[in-house]
Amino acid sequence: MKMKVLLLLLVLPLAGLCSEDNGDSLRSRYSEQISPDSLRYHLNIIASDAFEGRETGKPGQKMAAEYLADHFNGYGLTSVADSGYFQRFYLSETGIEKASVTVAGSELEFIEDYYFFGALVSNGKRQFNQIQFLGYGIDDSLYSDYRNAGDVIENIVIWEEEPVNRKGAFLLSGNDYNSEWSKDFSIKLKTAKKHGVKNLFIVNDDFDDMVIRLSYYLTMPRVSLWKEDVKDPKLAVYYISEKTARQLLGKDYKPAKIKQRIGNGKDNTSFIVDQHITIDIVKKSSKIATENVLGIIEGSDKKDEYLVITAHYDHLGVQNGEIYNGADDDGSGTVALLEIARAFGKAKSEGHGPSRSVLIMAVSGEEKGLLGSEYYTSNPVVPLDATVANLNIDMIGRNDAAYDPDSEYIYLIGSDRLSSTLHNLSETVNQECCRIELDYTYNDPNDPNRFYYRSDHYNFVKNGIPAIFYFSGVHEDYHQPTDTADKIQYGKMTSVVQLIFETAWEIANTPLTIEVDVEDDAELFRQ
Ligand SMILES: [Zn+2]
């Protein structure tokens, strides 16, 4: 026994001296394991018609989950979740079965005259005979629609935004800057609730534009994480057009005149009218069972710290009889996970496992609203505060219109948003191994596409975990049935997967701490 300890003592410092060279060559040795043939092989399976577009909760998604778990097992990943490689969870899908609003016996049209979001209305039928106009619905010491309104009744109509004075400046600020009352919609809701309002009708300034933009979401069922005993909201919110406001409030409702009075310093614009209104809403929820697929390569000396590598394996399923194969979105990221898992598994089996643990996770529910990663970060299987970083892969198989078909580039999003250590490490690794063009176009906080908020890494970011999102851009087959495996550029994709693997390897082995040292808007979420 003693002898062994002595030997170790002799060997360790030597290993320490040349560990850097060793590490780099090992890193590239296992990176070379990742091959275009393997990527193509897996993608031709999971993006085939047999998997029916892998829609969350559907048989195709379950087939993909089994496929991933089998391979994680084969590559020597260990399971950490309750049910083997699966982290099972439920979603609820809520659709509006019936929506009927009548005013004085005549029926309004959903979307034509009004709309609402399912989560902000309650089930059932209600009738009332009076409705009150209450200006902007503001209750501030400088301006209040409530102050002189007497007893506020349960059903009110308010405007969006906030008042301006005769010179066109905002009343509350006296200048060009609007206040929280129009910036944060929830303040008006809370105020109405505090005054006992039950039905809040909001006149939508740009109603016609809004319904064009929202009609898809308003008519589709809403999917969210399943919660037991969801209670209906105490305050129901309906958005109405100017025309509907006139119908509800009758001849006393003269918007231009009222705004003029307010501009002149009056805030007592409230009035109540007798109006017979019936609202009947039937919401229906169903429960969907799905699963994230997780496997772990356990680390050595820092095994209680974790790098999480993610890609979503769900896609859009079958719509109107057409299969949405989702080869690029996100079959590409899914098969990248398999190759990364295989390379780490091989390294580990040959005695070159990582220092930190690497959790490889294929998430479900992404296309329904990043729900698999939301579930995971609310129910993590390894502690979030021991999770040093997340690398997320979503659509890396194609070149977009900004690049030549044969150029090697990847958009990096988020690398510098929380941690300069992570960003520098990522840059250095690319210089050493791959020299792919790293394009930060979409990392610009002002980029209108807002991709930073649109894939699974963002649920990690919200929890203060630095993340890099790897993405090669959108193309004409994005979210179309034509996103098929034959259109993937396997050579370029291999280079990108190797870059991700080498970056992961470095994060898992670096003696540095991936420090959160950059202030980001994620701060807002943590408060
Ligand atoms: Zn995607």
DSSP sequence for 462-482 = TTT--EEEEE----TTTTSTT
Quick check: 309 and 504 in contact, CB under 8 A?
yes
Mean pLDDT check: name the lowest of 325-334, 350-359, 518-527: 518-527
**Mean pLDDT over each residue of the chain, to the nearest integer:** 92
Mean pLDDT check: name the lowest of 19-23, 350-354, 421-425: 19-23
Cis peptide before 252 (omega within 30 of 0): no
pLDDT value of position 22: 65
For 165, phi then psi, to 5°, come to -90, -175
pLDDT at 409 over 60: yes
Rg, C-alpha atoms of the chain: 28
* Local structure of 157: helix, strand or coil: strand
3-state secondary structure string across 328-397: HHHHHHHHHHHHHHHHHHHHHHCCCCCCEEEEEEEECCCCCCCHHHHHHHHCCCCCHHHEEEEEEECCCC
Q: What is the arithmetic mean of pLDDT over 289-295?
A: 98
pLDDT above 70 covers a percentage of the chain that reads 94
Q: What is the arithmetic mean of pLDDT over 199-225?
A: 91
pLDDT at 31 over 50: yes
Altogether, the residues listed in the chain come to a count of 527
pLDDT band at 345 (very low <50, low <70, confident <90, very high): very high
- Burial 256-266, CB ≥16 within 10 A → b, else e: eebbebbeeee
Query: How far, rounded to the nearest angstrom, does the alpha carbon of residue 329 sit from its chain's CA centroid?
Result: 15
Residue 123: exposure state from Cβ atoms within 10 A (0-12, 13-18, ≥19): middle
CA 382/CA 9 separation, integer angstroms: 33
Please tell me the pTM assigned to this model: 0.81
To 10 degrees, the CA torsion angle through 164, 170, 174, 180?
A: 140
Tokens of 169: 């400046």
CA of 51 to the centre of ligand 1 (A): 16
pLDDT value of position 231: 83
CA of 370 to the centre of ligand 1 (A): 9
Return all residues near 320 (Cβ < 8 A) that are at least 6 apart.
none
Choose between 3 and 375: higher pLDDT.
Answer: 375
CA 324/CA 126 separation, integer angstroms: 42
pLDDT value of position 406: 86
Q: Cα–Cα distances in Å, from 324 out to 259, 370, 397, 475, 485?
A: 51, 18, 16, 15, 11
pLDDT at 506 over 90: yes
pLDDT value of position 520: 64
Residue 230, Cβ neighbours under 10 Å: how many?
13
CA of 94 to the centre of ligand 1 (A): 23
DSSP designation for 196? T
Beta strands 467-471 and 387-393 are parallel
CA of 516 to the centre of ligand 1 (A): 26
pLDDT value of position 135: 97
Amino acid in position 519: E
pLDDT value of position 521: 55
Q: Which among 123, 161, 129, 135 has a CA at the least distance from the CA of 262? A: 135
pLDDT at 20 over 80: no
pLDDT value of position 232: 84
pLDDT value of position 220: 84
Q: What is the arithmetic mean of pLDDT over 159-177?
A: 93
Quick check: 95 and 88 in contact, CB under 8 A?
no
pLDDT at 11 over 60: no
pLDDT digits (tens, 9 = 90+) for 102-122: 999 999 999 999 999 988 999
Choose between 505 and 233: higher pLDDT.
Answer: 505
pLDDT value of position 266: 87
pLDDT at 396 over 70: yes
19: left (phi over 0), alpha (psi -120 to 50) or beta: alpha
CA of 181 to the centre of ligand 1 (A): 35
Tokens of 137: 């619905």
**Highest mean pLDDT (candidates 3-17, 71-85, 213-227, 428-442):** 428-442
Q: What is the arithmetic mean of pLDDT over 222-227?
A: 92
pLDDT at 6 over 70: no
pLDDT value of position 303: 97
pLDDT value of position 488: 98
CA of 253 to the centre of ligand 1 (A): 47
Choose between 214 and 43: higher pLDDT.
Answer: 43
* Local structure of 35: helix, strand or coil: coil
CA of 455 to the centre of ligand 1 (A): 7
CA of 438 to the centre of ligand 1 (A): 20
- Adjacent-strand bridge partners of 282: 98
CA of 313 to the centre of ligand 1 (A): 8
CA of 114 to the centre of ligand 1 (A): 32
**Highest mean pLDDT (candidates 106-120, 225-239, 417-431):** 417-431
**Highest mean pLDDT (candidates 21-30, 139-148, 515-524):** 139-148
CA of 510 to the centre of ligand 1 (A): 29
Mean pLDDT check: name the lowest of 125-134, 209-218, 481-490: 209-218
pLDDT at 490 over 50: yes
